Amino acid sequence: MATRRLPPGPSVISSLLHLLCRLLKSIVWKVWQLCTSSTLILLLIYWAYGSFFILLLVFSALFGLFYNFQDSLLYFPQQPESSTMYVTPPSAVGIPYNNIYLKTKDGLSINAVLFKQAPVKCSRVPTILFFHGNAGNIGHRYINANALHSVCGCNVVLLEYRGYGRSDGTPSESGLYMDAQTALDYLHTRSDIDHTKIFVMGRSLGGAVAIHLASRVENQDRIRGLILENTFTNIPEMGAVVIGLELLKWLPLMFYKNKYLSLLKVFRIQVPTLFLSGSVDELVPPQMMHRLFQRCGSRMKKMARFERGTHNETWQCDGYFHTVGQFLSEVTRQDSMPLLSSAIYGAEEEDV
């Protein structure tokens, strides 16, 4: 007796559609890359013969050049020179450490270093997961980490993004988010640290990564607090500042390969948050930190302004580590009653 063949189920159809979409996306991407690499040839053909189709290809190629060039304006893993070839060994700091290589979901090996307190304290003190800026490698942050370790009495984890230092891969917005999530997940597997005292800290570009990580619903109960230093609202606004062209922040988001929409995400943050702002930051306008502070959804948030703080040297200002240490202490002492939002100016604190 002949058997009747059943129609394909929803899961099969969904898989086929997903495969088709990936194929079409791959074809479009290859055509775009071809157009981008052949921009000059296309311009010459259009000049010689004229064609609406060729004109479309020219515009597509120019857009491709602009789109892919954005990475070179944002990520600087090779500055200073040799930053991707040599990373100072963590032993140079002279404190206990673990050098770790984490495996991301897309199969990359990411370098990280955990500077630990003495064994008797390691499992009782806060742990800071630190995300650095857009240049150099984690070796350039060892002095900073050593000060956090000794002055604030915490464990410090330095994560090296993909494409930086000893980490595999190429930097991208989604990639940096994946690296950050991988590091947080890893910390929750360790038995020698207190999982209820994990703080996330980000400087400059790292602040955007930290905001994304802390704004995710699944991480709300896995992060005790957030510390942000001299970070920006989003890439369109930051691009307008760096290039000096106001038009850039009004371009549709589809024109931006990297967006880092921190101003939209910070509203979803619920954990206690400390903002560290250098008043003479020459790269990121301090007003951006103020806007992020105002927009932040946390019931416990503080702004610390350092009058002589520049973009990269705010951490060297008087009172910086005292402010961070006080924040860690206050948050870890709070079980249920949140502190009021406030602004800190040097050693003075004022309600807002």
Q: Is 311 a catalytic residue?
A: yes
Radius of gyration of the chain (CA): 23
For residue 322, what are its two tokens?
């005292």
Interatomic CA distance for residues 211 and 201, integer angstroms: 9
The residues facing 302 across adjacent strands are 274, 342
Burial of 73 (0-12, 13-18, 19+ CB in 10 A): middle
Q: Which of 38, 311, 341, 342 is catalytic?
A: 311
Question: Out of 83, 204, 215, 298, which one is annotated catalytic?
Answer: 204
Catalytic residues: 204, 281, 311
